[in-house]
Structure 1
Amino acid sequence: MTQDETAAVGIAMAYHRAWTTGDLETATTYLAGDAVCHTPAGKLTGSTAIGAFMAPFAATLMGSRLLAAHGNAIEAMLMYDTSSSAVPSAPGAELYRVQSGLITEIHILFDRLPFALARGEVIRV
């Protein structure tokens, strides 16, 4: 694969590295001003709103381990596991769409179960 064919992966990884190390100022520089983020809590629009959404979780992170990164020129998928002050393991995945070197859309998936259990919620299946 050429560098152009994996451009979105590099941008997604740089964004991920920034927010998981608490550097939200740098993280938002990878987002288009009108970027859209689909979260388990709902849809967010704009780099400011996305940064504000990520800030509380990023502040609790103790570590993040990238498990996989795949993509092409316009899309990237990252799978990772985070550890935080709330839970030792919280796996997640994010799908990014990239245009003109900026992230225009993110779909975030993460396992909410570790957080529910940490809060003492009773889970019934």
Structure 2
Amino acid sequence: MTSPAEKIALAYFEAWTSHDMDRAMTYVAQDVVCDAPAGRIEGAEAYRDFMTPFVGILRNATLTASFGDEETAVVVYDTETVPVPSAPAAECVTVRHGKIVHSRFIFDRAPFDAARAGRPS
């Protein structure tokens, strides 16, 4: 049985991993706050600006696991991108009134930094 927050998190995941940022953003609150390895992102426009470049290099995403309750959900996945063949990540979201109001991304930036520098990861 999928929880309410998990349903939103999975719908959002399916949208952005299908390269549909317009649909993905329908699940994101205007005042969203995102804590990512690069720092805090505030507001839907800044969040979209943060996600769009990554979605642009995304080749594939595989869902590993998801779980949640009424307001919180965690989605664990592995992404294949143009520069990095395997980039596991997790996202913990808080959902209120059917929208993601907070997101915490957990991923290792080192393989991406190495790819940008032309080093093997």
TM-score normalised to structure 2 length: 0.92
The code of the aligned residue for 2:93 comes to Y
For residues 35-86 of structure 1, the C-alpha deviation after alignment (integer angstroms, 9 at most, x for no partner) is 1111111111111111110000100000000001011010000110000110
Equivalent residue, structure 2, for 1:91: 88
Count of residues in Structure 1 that have an aligned counterpart in Structure 2: 120
Equivalent residue, structure 2, for 1:109: 106
Equivalent residue, structure 2, for 1:70: 67
Aligned counterparts, 1:20-59, within 5 A? 20-59=17-56
Q: Provide structure 1 residue ranges, at least 5 long, that are not aligned to the other structure.
A: none
| Identity among equivalent pairs (%) | 43
The answer to whether the Cα contact below 8 Å between 1:65 and 1:80 also exists between their aligned partners in 2 is yes
Runs of 4+ in 1 over 4 A off after TM superposition: none
RMSD: 1.6
Q: Provide structure 2 residue ranges, at least 5 long, that are not aligned to the other structure.
A: none
